[in-house]
């Protein structure tokens, strides 16, 4: 009847339970002695715990350097992947664990992860997931400089191409050190991403002057154009569209071309006008942009400036162009439904409806714009491209504008006035009264002199040996 003997039973652990115990011990950073004991008890250092994760993945995730060494010393394979294709090296690169990454590389971690042929047969089903994402890309994306440097110094390729572009095309532009690291290891600064944009174009678009300077330092092409299937813009077009004067000037100082690309509609000057940016327009003209360069449909910068709807700085831009001897009577022989093709004054009257201002029309006439009250249909349009008759409905009611146009006119076609259907009877009578009067001799002399002077009229009139009153009369400045 004495005490019952204690029966000791040996506890048997299944391989799965041992593996789970090992993973938990690593996760909670248990003492290295405990982890060693679990391994000695038979835990598989290459076993799959959950979702394909191996003990080495857990050790890398918690940055447990001593445990990583222990697992590797006990036969852990540094290149095994989980179910989505992550190796322990991916985890280190993503989280910035430089010390663990160094151990993995020393023990044979695969640095050319995306190179054709490195994926094991049993991992082929993962090749479309993270198996196509190199650890270097993760280190750069998360701005882990030391990890990226370690990978590159040990043979990681800076040239790998992903779905959206090359390695350098995917670098966040704020990660300047990573960008410099790739460039210094031979990355090509002139590659295009899937959107047809080079790193320099992207930096211009996103206002990253420091990145622009770095890329140009490594011989980025300042005049590269987008591939044929995209709008073939240059870096300077991206800078202008972003409204960045500082980057635009830096590109110009480094040789940016101001001519229009062959397969893009606008030159940089046209682009600056569309942006409605006076500072950019001044900069283009300062660097000798051509004021007579045409868009692909034949519009000069001045024609474009007068035709665009809603420009807040139209007068200043028009004056800038005129002061650089832009042809105030330029027009295109080819009719276009996309771009302006009529002379600047007519484009202004045609496109701006109620937003027509006396100062713009006065400026154009002062610099020599021709005014003709004639239609533009059929043969008549071909003979006289300066007819404003069909657009006068936009200005009737603005007495100062109408008076200036009536006085400045070089021709009244009474037959066209009689048959035009865009203006009312009262307006027709007013025009007919002007058209029936004989033109004054002094006005005819004025038109003759102005016609002979062509562009730069105010400067040419200024040096004529005439009284100030006559000079003002020549410029319709009375």
Q: Could you give all domains of the chain from N- to C-terminal order, each with its CATH number?
A: 12-157 (1.25.40.20)
Cα(32)–Cα(329) distance, integer angstroms: 87
pLDDT range class, residue 65, cuts 50, 70, 90: very high
Cα(344)–Cα(322) distance, integer angstroms: 11
pLDDT of res. 122: 46
Q: Which of 229, 280, 227 is nearest to 256 (CA)?
A: 280
pLDDT of res. 472: 94
Report whether pLDDT(53) > 70. Answer: yes
Cα(393)–Cα(144) distance, integer angstroms: 65
Mean pLDDT of 353-382: 81
pLDDT of res. 376: 55
The dihedral region occupied by 173, where left means phi > 0, alpha psi between -120 and 50, and beta the remainder, is: alpha
Report whether pLDDT(101) > 70. Answer: yes
Cα(317)–Cα(291) distance, integer angstroms: 12
pLDDT range class, residue 120, cuts 50, 70, 90: very low
Above pLDDT 90, what percent of the chain?
70
Mean pLDDT of 95-102: 97
Mean pLDDT of 390-394: 85
Report whether pLDDT(413) > 90. Answer: no
pLDDT range class, residue 415, cuts 50, 70, 90: confident
> Hey, what are 281's tokens?
């327009």
pLDDT of res. 383: 57
The answer to whether the beta carbons of residues 453 and 459 sit under 8 Å apart is no
Mean pLDDT of 140-157: 95
pLDDT of res. 6: 60
pLDDT range class, residue 380, cuts 50, 70, 90: very low
Mean pLDDT of 414-425: 82
pTM metric for this prediction: 0.86
Report whether pLDDT(132) > 70. Answer: no
Mean pLDDT of 152-169: 91
Residue at token pair 């460039």? 183
Report whether pLDDT(104) > 90. Answer: yes
Mean pLDDT of 214-228: 96
Cα(199)–Cα(220) distance, integer angstroms: 9
Cα(80)–Cα(56) distance, integer angstroms: 9
β-strands 161-162, 165-166 pairing: antiparallel
Mean pLDDT of the chain: 89
The helix (run of H) or strand (run of E) holding residue 358 is helix 358-366
């Amino acid at each position: 009847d004495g005490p019952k003997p204690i029966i000791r039973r040996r506890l048997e652990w299944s391989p799965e339970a041992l593996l789970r115990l090992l993973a938990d011990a690593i996760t909670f950073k248990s003492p290295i002695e405990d982890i060693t004991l679990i391994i000695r008890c038979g835990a598989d250092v290459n076993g799959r715990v959950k979702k394909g994760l191996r003990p080495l993945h857990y050790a890398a995730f918690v940055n447990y350097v001593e445990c990583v060494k222990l697992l590797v010393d006990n036969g852990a394979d540094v290149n095994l992947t989980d179910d989505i294709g992550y190796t322990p090296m991916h985890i280190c690169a993503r989280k910035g664990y430089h010390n663990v990454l160094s151990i993995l590389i020393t023990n044979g971690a695969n640095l050319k992860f995306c190179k054709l042929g490195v994926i094991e047969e049993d991992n082929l089903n993962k090749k479309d997931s993270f198996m196509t994402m190199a650890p270097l890309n993760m280190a750069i994306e998360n701005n882990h400089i030391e990890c990226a440097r370690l990978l590159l110094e040990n043979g990681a390729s800076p040239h790998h191409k992903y779905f959206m572009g090359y390695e350098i095309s995917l670098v966040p532009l704020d990660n300047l050190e990573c960008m410099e690291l790739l460039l210094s290891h031979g990355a090509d600064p002139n590659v295009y991403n899937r959107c047809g944009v080079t790193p320099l174009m992207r930096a211009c678009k996103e206002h990253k002057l420091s990145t622009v300077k770095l890329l140009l330092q490594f011989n980025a092409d300042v005049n590269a154009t987008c591939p044929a299937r995209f709008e073939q813009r240059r870096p300077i077009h991206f800078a202008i569209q972003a409204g960045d004067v500082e980057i635009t000037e830096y590109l110009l100082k480094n040789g940016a071309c101001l001519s229009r690309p062959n397969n893009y509609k606008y030159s940089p000057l046209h682009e600056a006008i569309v942006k409605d940016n006076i500072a950019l327009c001044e900069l283009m003209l300062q660097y000798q942009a051509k004021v007579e360069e045409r868009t692909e449909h034949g519009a000069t910068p001045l024609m474009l400036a007068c035709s665009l709807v809603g420009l807040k700085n139209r007068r200043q831009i028009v004056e800038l162009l005129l002061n650089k001897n832009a042809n105030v009577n330029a027009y295109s022989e080819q009719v276009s439904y996309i771009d302006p093709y009529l002379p600047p004054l007519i484009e202004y009257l045609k496109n701006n409806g109620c937003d027509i201002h006396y100062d713009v029309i006065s400026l154009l006439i002062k610099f020599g714009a021709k005014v003709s009250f004639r239609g533009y249909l059929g043969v008549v349009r071909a003979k006289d491209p300066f007819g404003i008759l069909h657009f006068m409905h936009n200005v009737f009611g603005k007495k100062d504008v109408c008076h200036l146009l009536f006085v400045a006119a070089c021709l009244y076609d009474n037959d066209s006035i009689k048959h035009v259907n865009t203006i009312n009877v009262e307006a027709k009578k007013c025009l007919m009264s002007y058209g029936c009067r004989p033109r004054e001799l002094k006005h005819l002399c004025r038109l003759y002199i102005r016609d002979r002077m062509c562009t730069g009229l105010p400067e040419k009139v200024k040096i004529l040996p005439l009284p100030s009153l006559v000079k003002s009369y020549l410029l319709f400045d009375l």
